[in-house]
Amino acid sequence: MTDVNEQLAEISPLNGLHGEEGAAGGRRLLAAARTFAHNRLGLAGVLIVLLMIGFCFIGPLIYHTNQVYTNLNQVHLAPSLAHPLGTDPLGYDELGRLMVGGRASLEVALAASVIATGFGALWGAISGYIGGLADTVMMRAVDAMLSVPPLLIVLFLATIYRPNVPVLIIVVALVAWLIPSRLVRGEALRLRTLEYVQAVRVIGGSHWRAISRHVLPNSIGTMAVNVTFQVADAILLVAAMGYLGLGIPAPGTDWGSMLSSGIDYIYSGYWWLIYPPGIAIVVTVVAFNFIGDALRDAFEVRLRER
Amino acid sequence: MLRYSARRTAHAVVVLFGVSVIVFIMLHLLPGSPARALLGPRATPAKVAAFNQQYGYNKPLFIQYFTWLWQMLQGNLGFSVKLNENVTTAIASRLPGTALLVGLANLFAFVIAVPVGLMQAARRNRFFDYVATGLAFVFYSMPAFWLGLLLVILFSEQLHLLPPIVPQASFGQLLTHPGDIALPVITLTLITTALFSRYMRSSALENLPLDYVRTARAKGMGGQQVLWRHVLRNAAGPLITLVGLTLPVVVSGAILVESIFNYPGMGLLFWNAAQSEDYPTILGVTLVVGVATVVGSFIADVLYAIVDPRVRLS
């Protein structure tokens, strides 16, 4: 959702007042890393994400639970020593389920964001670099896709293709590449006018060389910032799909699907079905947003101080 | 202004064309053929052939597209077998509900976010700023359905103040019983406010170091006066465009909110259609929402150009 800010930054009349200098790639990355290291919220975000990844991927190796067979003898058990977060309507251990569900949510969100940002950056770089009619056609296609709420497209696709992790990755990536393509196009428009990029043509290099050696590497900051925000959005999107019944099918699960099974028990007071998955989603999404903000400051994608 | 409007109109028309192509592609992504998807697996070959003949599905793709587009332009969105209703009528009866929900949420969010963001910028890195930023972070990181759930627990289950489910009433009844739609509107407002206030804060921060602020201060104007008279107007301008741009996001939120509260709108219609694989309705809603978004952001851009002449010139 933060992407909208970036989208708007692109069209803002004040844009260009705060442009960055084209510096050598390595030095710039180092400077960015140094700025990032001083951002406490950003570091907290990294720490939370690492803890969450550890919880979801290493946790099940330490905390063994049965997440395949239902056990109707022990449904809706309140939290106890045997089940720290109780059990769900099918008798699964809720803490173990949180790990399994988190794994699916994180896998989908991370993979979809990386694929989407990569593809979007390529699309935007080509569009902005070539310019002219091709640019117009490619960007109007992006505008049109952006006009349809992502949830509609994603739900439509999920009714046709049975959701599982690879399918969800592709479906989410399909709606997530649009914003990065716009942002990188903005970079490409600026970069292609610079002398050292035009020099590639003069020395006989191909257009592709200009794009792959100069436009894309110089957009790395924009891409890095965007990919973290994309992860945050993707986690919410996957949760929404799960909640609406089109998430990972049983016996697998994701955080949204877990909430969707908890919603039936609001009036029964089974709080352990409602709070843990919700809090897991919020904490993870906030953490990724912290990282995104810190990266934005570090790469000076917009104002350094916000 | 005329040139800007003309350019912006051309852009909107091209994007609308793009939206129609997307929905047409979705139609052809349906399992089997559109005929199979719409008539169901038990339709006889004769019926399928008749359907293909009637809707021109036995013709080349680009002719199919224009036949389909012509039907859409006349307002014929197809017939839903699952609802036993014309998709156009089904959508028309639920459109006002969603427009009300999204409109109120946007309005309240705008009214709250503008002063909050402005005050955050003025008191940057102070207590108020931290609290508001923290809240904004939490609310926009919160899945809409979970926030709705928490509000139901608080206001319906604990306090017994508001109904957890919106009655399946007509649009007029919804208007006369504001209490019934309070929870869905609050849920969507909170999320939208989080979105807007962050932007308002950075927009105001960008304005504070500008010359006109210094000039106003130099003329002897008080800090608060500069803030509320000058910075407010300059910083809130871009927010008009933001309303247009975030429309797809807010509508996505509305789908979730409607499904939690059983709010009689297009989101609930879409969700039910997705669960029963009612493709004519799914595609109809997608098309209508896409068109509404394009028109909405067009209006927002033109409004912004009226408010801020700099946009027209760039």
Question: Has residue A18 got a pLDDT over 50?
Answer: no
Q: Between A and B, how many residue pairs show a Cβ–Cβ distance under 8 A?
A: 166
Q: Is A11 part of any domain?
A: no
Cβ of residue B175 closer than 8 Å to a chain A Cβ = no
A232-258 pLDDT, tens digit each: 999 999 999 888 888 888 788 889 888
What is the rounded average pLDDT for all residues in chain A? 82
Q: Measured between beta carbons, which residues in chain B are less than 8 angstroms from residue A245?
A: 275
- pLDDT band for position A1 (cuts 50, 70, 90): very low
Q: Is A293 part of any domain?
A: yes
Cβ of residue B33 closer than 8 Å to a chain A Cβ = no
Shortest distance, CA B37 to any CA of chain A (angstroms):
10
A78-127 pLDDT, tens digit each: 787 777 777 777 778 888 888 988 999 999 999 999 999 999 999 999 99
Q: Do A148 and B286 touch (CB under 8 A)?
A: yes
Residue of B nearest to A245 (CA): B275
Distance between CA atoms of A167 and A184, rounded to whole angstroms?
A: 26
What pLDDT score does A22 carry? 44
What pLDDT score does A25 carry? 59
> Which one has a higher pLDDT value, A48 or B301?
A48
H or E, element range at B85: strand B85-86
Task: Give the count of alpha carbons within 13 A of B306, CB side only.
Answer: 8
Q: Which residues of chain B have pLDDT under 50?
A: none
Residue of A nearest to B29 (CA): A160
Q: Is A23 part of any domain?
A: no
Q: Do A244 and B259 touch (CB under 8 A)?
A: yes
Compute the CA torsion angle B256, B261, B262, B268 (nearest 10 deg). -10
Residue among B246, B260, B314 whose CB faces A4 most closely: B246
Across chain A, the runs of DSSP E, i.e. the strands, are none
Question: Has residue A3 got a pLDDT over 60?
Answer: no
What integer is the mean pLDDT of A155-160?
Answer: 86
Distances (CA, A) of A22 to A94, A206, A302: 51, 21, 14
For B106, phi then psi, to 5°, come to: -65, -45
What pLDDT score does A19 carry? 38
Shortest distance, CA B251 to any CA of chain A (angstroms):
7
Q: Measured between beta carbons, which residues in chain B are less than 8 angstroms from residue A14?
A: 206
A200-216 pLDDT, tens digit each: 888 888 888 888 888 88
What pLDDT score does A301 carry? 57
Closest CA to A108 of A173, A45, A47: A173
Q: Is A2 part of any domain?
A: no
Q: Measured between beta carbons, which residues in chain A are less than 8 angstroms from residue B18?
A: 140-141, 143-145, 147
Q: CB count, 10 Å around CB of A118? A: 16
Helix (H, G, I), strand (E, B) or coil at B79: strand
Q: Suggest the residue from B13, B145, B195 to mutate for an interface test with chain A (most A CBs closer than 10 A).
A: B145
What pLDDT score does A13 carry? 40
What integer is the mean pLDDT of A188-209?
Answer: 85
What pLDDT score does A10 carry? 45
H or E, element range at B80: strand B79-80
Residues spanned by the domain of A285:
32-66+82-304
What pLDDT score does A16 carry? 39
Radius of gyration over alpha carbons of chain A, in Å? 22
Q: Do B259 and A141 touch (CB under 8 A)?
A: no
A303 in Cβ contact with A15 (< 8 Å): no
Q: Is A8 part of any domain?
A: no
Look up the pTM and report it: 0.86
Q: Is A165 part of any domain?
A: yes
Question: Has residue A267 got a pLDDT over 80?
Answer: no
Cβ of residue B22 closer than 8 Å to a chain A Cβ = yes
Measure the CA angle with vertex A182, ends A178 and A184; round to 5°.
Answer: 115
- pLDDT band for position A56 (cuts 50, 70, 90): confident
Per the structure, the count of domains in chain A is 1
Ranges of H-type helices in B227-278: 232-245, 247-261, 266-275
What pLDDT score does B224 carry? 83
What pLDDT score does B314 carry? 59
Q: What is the CATH number of the domain that holds A60?
A: 1.10.3720.10
Distance between CA atoms of B302 and B3, rounded to whole angstroms?
A: 11
Q: Do B198 and A5 touch (CB under 8 A)?
A: yes
Helix (H, G, I), strand (E, B) or coil at B222: coil
Distance between CA atoms of A232 and A4, rounded to whole angstroms?
A: 14
Q: Measured between beta carbons, which residues in chain A are less than 8 angstroms from residue B249?
A: 1, 4, 149
Cβ of residue B256 closer than 8 Å to a chain A Cβ = yes
Q: Is A7 part of any domain?
A: no
Looking at residue B213, its amino acid is V
Q: Is A234 part of any domain?
A: yes
Q: Measured between beta carbons, which residues in chain B are less than 8 angstroms from residue A241?
A: none
Write the DSSP symbol of residue A13. Answer: T
Q: Measured between beta carbons, which residues in chain B are less than 8 angstroms from residue A256?
A: 143
Across A216-268, the runs of DSSP E, i.e. the strands, are none
Q: Measured between beta carbons, which residues in chain B are less than 8 angstroms from residue A157?
A: 29
Closest CA to A143 of A105, A181, A112: A181
Question: Has residue A69 got a pLDDT over 80?
Answer: no
**% of chain A exceeding 90 in pLDDT:** 23
Q: Measured between beta carbons, which residues in chain B are less than 8 angstroms from residue A156?
A: 26, 274, 282-283, 286
